[in-house]
Amino acid sequence: MNQSIRVTLRPWALAAGLLFSIFSGVSSAQQPTQGQPAALPPVESANIMDVGRAPNATIEAERRAQANQPGNNAPIWRTVNSDAVNYVSIPDKQAGVLIQKSGQEWRLIRDGVITVYGAWLLALAICGVLAMFLVRGTIKLHEPMTGRKIQRFTSVERLTHWVMAFSFVGLAITGLLILYGKYFVLPVLGASIFGTLLLISKNIHNFTGPLFTISIVVFFFLFVKRNLPERGDMQWAMSFGGMLSGKHVPAGFFNFGEKFWFWFGMVILGTLVSASGWVLDMIVPIPGIEYWRGTMQIANIVHGVGALIMTALALGHIYIGTIGMQGSIDGMKTGYVDETWAKEHHEIWYNKVK
């Protein structure tokens, strides 16, 4: 019985002795003897293999182990989500970018800025034309027509104008269908018919674009001299051609409104839309331009903004040149205008001709 008690208590005695030795060692370390330096606190280590290492080395090892731990794909996805071009052995070097983050920004600009504000711009332009027609109607001549005609445009000038006009209308319709068709046409026609319609519209748009560019270049050289600033332009601009005041304002071959459309609408916007369209079509390689996704996205933004502004301005130009003003379309239809129309709207040019 006594022997069994001694055997049973022996492990407890060993444990008690071990705890006593540990606490006595800690207390002796915390209370150094006289003449001896105080002992430094022990450095905590990540595991038993870190005993004897410096603290900074241990921390760096822990960070490196955490970054390279099995299953941690964060470094890989950081590289994938960057726009940096990695090495590829195939000819298409842009394939080195697996995920292009700037493409998300382009989508937000196209679908969140261009489509929204472009739709408001077109709506305001349409409402402005309708309001002008309801308030003023067709602007009539103050005097009856004489029947005597004056040549205003040659056959080449009219042909160039109509080629530019019809190609622009075709581009505007197909472009608006490409931009807004999924919101209005797709729910009506369905995915299959809409996809076919969109494919046809894209090809019409791509092949009509170069024709529009050529007509702009020819039209520029035909009419640039007659669109230079001259006396009476500022007076016409300040009174808006007399449309608001009802007073007659003399003008040359082209008035200030027509010159504004020529320089801003046709030359500036037409050039931007045509140049960006050629980049999107990739018809002719342009020196210094690499047809990467980023380049195409920038060209698409420039093309969309310029085309929407040009379309809004063209609505006013088409209205004035057709039903908005009596006799305005005769010059482009036959090349001749009545003397009464020429005297009332372009008196300076009429006096030179007479």
pLDDT tens-digit series, residues 60-94 = 655 665 556 666 677 777 777 777 777 788 877 77
More confident residue, 200 or 39: 200
More confident residue, 18 or 324: 324
- With b meaning 16 or more CB within 10 Å and e meaning fewer, what string describes 152-166? bbeeebbebbebbbe
Name which of 33-37, 125-129, 263-267 the model is least confident about. 33-37
pTM of the model: 0.75
Of the pLDDT bands very low, low, confident and very high (cuts 50, 70, 90), residue 9 is very low
More confident residue, 202 or 142: 202
Quick count: other Cβ atoms within 10 Å of Cβ 132?
16
Name which of 35-49, 79-93, 99-113, 116-130 the model is least confident about. 35-49
H or E segment and range at residue 302: helix 293-321
Distance of CA 148 to the CA centre of its chain: 51
Of the pLDDT bands very low, low, confident and very high (cuts 50, 70, 90), residue 4 is very low
pLDDT of amino acid 313:
96
Residue 14 has pLDDT above 90, yes or no: no
pLDDT tens-digit series, residues 22-38 = 445 444 444 444 444 44
Residue 288 has pLDDT above 50, yes or no: yes
Q: What domains lie within the chain, and their CATH numbers?
A: 109-118+141-353 (1.20.950.20)
User: Which residues make Cβ contacts (< 8 Å) with residue 186, sequence separation at least 6?
Assistant: 194
Average pLDDT, the chain: 82
pLDDT above 90 covers a percentage of the chain that reads: 53
pLDDT of amino acid 213:
95
pLDDT of amino acid 8:
44
Of the pLDDT bands very low, low, confident and very high (cuts 50, 70, 90), residue 297 is very high
pLDDT above 70 covers a percentage of the chain that reads: 77
pLDDT of amino acid 295:
87
* Rounded mean pLDDT, 197-216: 95
User: Which residues make Cβ contacts (< 8 Å) with residue 324, sequence separation at least 6?
Assistant: 132, 133, 138, 139
pLDDT of amino acid 291:
78
Q: How many residues does the chain have?
A: 354
pLDDT of amino acid 244:
62
Q: In this structure, are residues 205 and 175 in contact, taking their beta carbons and an 8 Å threshold?
A: yes
325 vs 93, 128, 253, 300, CA distance in Å?
A: 56, 16, 17, 36
* Rounded mean pLDDT, 169-187: 95
